[in-house]
Amino acid sequence: MATARREVHTQVSPITVQHPLDPLTPDEIEDAVEILRADRSLGKRVRFETVVLNEPPKAQVLRYKDGDPIQREAFIALLDNDTGSVYEAVVSITGSTVKSWEHIPGVQPKIMLDEFYECEEAVKRDPAFREALRKRGITDIDLVMVDPWSAGNFGIKGEEGLRLSFARCWLRSSPTDNGYARPIEGVIPVVDLNRMEVLRVEDHGVVPLPPNSGNYAAEFVREFRTDLKPLEITQPEGPSFQVDGRRVSWQKWELRVGFTPREGLILHNVSYLDKGRQRPILYRAALSEMVVPYGDPGEAHFRKNAFDVGEYGIGTLTNSLSLGCDCLGEIYYFDAVMNDSRGGVMTIPNAICLHEEDFGILWKHVDWRTGQAEVRRSRRLVISFIATVGNYEYGFFWYFYQDGTIEYQVKLTGIVNNAAVQAGEVPKHGTLIAPQLNAHIHQHFFNVRMDMSIDGQNNSVYEVNTESEPRGPGNPQGNAFFAKKTLLATESEAQRVVNPFSGRSWLITNPSMRNYLGQEVAYNLVPGENVLPFAHPEAAVSKRAGFMAKHLWVTPYHPDENNAAGRYPNQHPGGDGLPAYTKANRSIENTDIVVWYTFGHHHVPRPEDWPVMPVMYTGFSLKPVGFFDQNPALDVPPPSHHNGHCHP
């Protein structure tokens, strides 16, 4: 087991706003909602999908100095349940005025957290649903679990213009039982979320409930391992980072921590101190979209294509973290403040975890002639949040290293989505993980939007492939190979996929800034695990999640281009987001650019993934290439021996 002796917890929803990019405070959310309610005479049937900071223009933020006056605005998206209409507004909180109000036709906002609860209640009281349960011998409605799923868009007649959810249902055997062990197969209530009524209950035939429980909680484990000794993580002098409001300083790193209900954790103004100058690397970085395409074509399952950012809001589903469980050591927590769908304030305490970790060897060399050894221990700064999306958990981790490396990692765990099958059935599009329980084959695609600022706003992108030199006079032994750089000058040229066989990566450079060797300063986007989608290019999910088709996209910065699948992917027919942004094939050379990286995790379920899945990892890194004149971690001090943690 691991223990930690002390935590640092500070409420950081600032009463006084310290920077133009600080998230809205509770008072600001309340003020923005009331200003808009009064100005537009909004009724009780209006839901507030989003109330977030309307981020100021980039040039204004970059000019900001501590103490300058700050004008605060809120961006608000709302849904009128009576008409199904969606509106967007910009509210000046500082000026107590509505600056803009616009009707957005033909879109559906994300399914809001309040709607999840209301949808479950509507399904449970529906007579047709109860009758479908009775056919299966289910009589205790309190033990039924209903997960509202997004409906997607399959061009099916009669679904146009309706705000729909196709619910999935399971049955607990007791109040604390893992209900996901017993799917109520074939029963799908279809709910009109505007009216919060069940339109129909699809019944694709009775399949017996799987016979086995899938309990994993401590109360159900009869015997624990007894050979684990304590592993203590202590920092007796406290952490090495400093926090001032939303600004974090650690070693030579500096950044700001943001948060939205849609994206979750946001990083602003990431920079590294080098030779007395704070050198910018990223202006803004956040998860832009994610989608989980499932591979079962059956009538009851073909709709399973969840956009967990754009259809649900990954930030809204963030966990409240606890010391000794999700994070270890000296921890600083940031709370997340957001709106509920009625315009009230909702706070998730301890939503973001900030701490340090030991990460093995940073660098080492032994001079075998003199016997002199030099070794440095690596530590990294961790900024993370974890979200629960129904059955699944996703942990999102940004890591900052002493050598200037940045890593983004997603940790996947929770309970695999499943379906009941007949006894003796061997599923084609999944894996039998327990008797009569099928876990469908699926993929997870994530897209991270990175507004780059490598030593300044104007950057370029090169693709780097390693090539073999043809054998000949210049390569008589056939051993030669070299790295070849190719400029990606336009948006179409920059739509690329990974190629591990050529060691492909992408170099983001600043053409006007050079190191002492005369090289353009740069950061390299290094792919990790990745995969392409297996869904057909004409499949509904392929059209709606067009960003999956390419791993790299690069666009010139535009303040309205923030979402890889578009602002409103819920029930959208497709083509929005990156495919639409890049149609103009704009120049991306030596300009203010945004790099979008898509990475996929391919999951063929295993019996070992049941009843709760061991963590799986996926992500990428950004590594300095010529950004520094030499190893920037030479000044990390040698490890001390006096504390007993390093033995001579």
Residue 231's pLDDT band (cuts 50, 70, 90): confident
362: in domain: no
pLDDT of residue 187: 98
207: in domain: yes
Last residue of a domain, which of 104, 134, 164?
Answer: 104
Question: Residue 267: is its pLDDT beyond 70?
Answer: yes
Confirm if 304 and 296 have CB atoms less than 8 A apart: yes
| Residues 100 and 117 grouped into a single domain | no
pLDDT of residue 13: 39
Question: Residue 644: is its pLDDT beyond 90?
Answer: no
Rounded CA-CA distance 182/436 in Å is 9
Beta strand 591-603 pairing with 442-452:
antiparallel
Rounded CA-CA distance 598/565 in Å is 12
- CATH number of the domain residue 207 falls in: 3.10.450.40
Question: Residue 474: is its pLDDT beyond 60?
Answer: yes
| Residues 186 and 145 grouped into a single domain | yes
| Residues 531 and 402 grouped into a single domain | yes
| Residues 74 and 127 grouped into a single domain | no
Rounded CA-CA distance 180/182 in Å is 5
Last residue of a domain, which of 73, 104, 135?
Answer: 104
Question: Residue 530: is its pLDDT beyond 50?
Answer: yes
pLDDT of residue 2: 32
360: in domain: no
How many CB atoms lie under 10 A from the CB of residue 601?
20
Residue partners of 634: CB distance under 8 A and separation at least 6: none
How many CB atoms lie under 10 A from the CB of residue 560?
7
| Residues 427 and 446 grouped into a single domain | yes
3-state DSSP call for residue 134?
helix
What pLDDT, in 10s, does the model give residues 570-614?
999 999 999 999 999 999 999 999 999 999 999 999 999 999 999
So which residues are the catalytic ones? 308, 392
34: in domain: yes
Question: Residue 14: is its pLDDT beyond 90?
Answer: no
pLDDT of residue 6: 32
**Range(s) of the domain holding residue 293:** 261-317+390-477+484-625
3-state DSSP of 135-162? HCCCCCHHHEEEEEEECCCCCCCCCCCC
Q: What is the mean pLDDT of residues 88-94?
A: 98
Question: Residue 446: is its pLDDT beyond 70?
Answer: yes
Residue 323's pLDDT band (cuts 50, 70, 90): low
Structural domains in the chain (count): 3
pLDDT of residue 547: 98
| Residues 145 and 73 grouped into a single domain | no
Contacts of 123-132 with C-beta under 8 Å, sequence gap 24+, read: 123/167, 123/169, 123/189, 123/191, 123/198, 126/189, 126/198, 126/201, 128/198, 128/200, 128/201, 129/187, 129/189, 129/198, 129/201, 132/187, 132/201, 132/203
| Residues 434 and 307 grouped into a single domain | yes
What pLDDT, in 10s, does the model give residues 31-81?
999 999 999 999 999 999 999 999 999 999 999 999 999 999 999 999 999
Structure tokens at 57: 């223009």
Strand partners, 292: 306
| Residues 88 and 126 grouped into a single domain | no
| Residues 73 and 153 grouped into a single domain | no
Residue 324's pLDDT band (cuts 50, 70, 90): low
Q: DSSP for 328-385?
A: -SS-EEEEEEEE-TTS-EEEEEEEEEEEEEEEEEEEEEEETTTTEEEEEEEEEEEEEE
Rounded CA-CA distance 414/393 in Å is 5
Task: Decide which of 27 and 3 is more confident.
Answer: 27
Rounded CA-CA distance 371/100 in Å is 71
Give yes or no for a cis peptide into 611 (omega within 30° of 0).
Answer: yes
Confirm if 503 and 466 have CB atoms less than 8 A apart: yes
pLDDT of residue 329: 87
Structure tokens at 635: 């000044």
3-state DSSP call for residue 634?
coil
Length of the chain: 648
570: in domain: yes
Residue 645's pLDDT band (cuts 50, 70, 90): low
Question: Residue 642: is its pLDDT beyond 60?
Answer: no
3-state DSSP call for residue 116?
helix
Tokens 């900030």 map to which residue?
Answer: 354
Q: DSSP for 604-623?
A: ---GGG-SSEEEEEEEEEEE
Of 225-239, 263-277, 555-569, least confident by mean pLDDT is 225-239
| Residues 70 and 35 grouped into a single domain | yes
Last residue of a domain, which of 51, 72, 104?
Answer: 104
b/e for 113-149, b at 16 or more Cβ within 10 A?
Answer: bebbebbbebbbebeebbebbeebebeeeebbbbbbb
pLDDT of residue 640: 78
Above pLDDT 90, what percent of the chain? 94
552: in domain: yes
| Residues 69 and 118 grouped into a single domain | no
Amino acid at 81: N
Nearest residue to 345 (alpha-carbon basis) of 19, 1, 30, 17:
30
352: in domain: no
Q: DSSP for 73-113?
A: EEEEEEEETTTTEEEEEEEETTTTEEEEEEEETT--PPPPH
24: in domain: yes
Q: Share the mean pLDDT of the chain.
A: 95
**Alpha-carbon torsion 456, 458, 461, 462, what sign?**
negative
What is the separation of C-alpha 332 from the centre of its chain, rounded to a whole number of angstroms? 21
pTM exceeding the 0.75 threshold for the entire prediction: yes
- CATH number of the domain residue 492 falls in: 2.70.98.20
What pLDDT, in 10s, does the model give residues 169-228?
999 999 999 999 999 999 999 999 999 999 999 999 999 999 999 999 999 999 999 999
| Residues 174 and 51 grouped into a single domain | no
Rounded CA-CA distance 238/7 in Å is 10
Beta strand 8-9 pairing with 332-339:
parallel
What pLDDT, in 10s, does the model give residues 334-350?
999 999 999 999 999 99
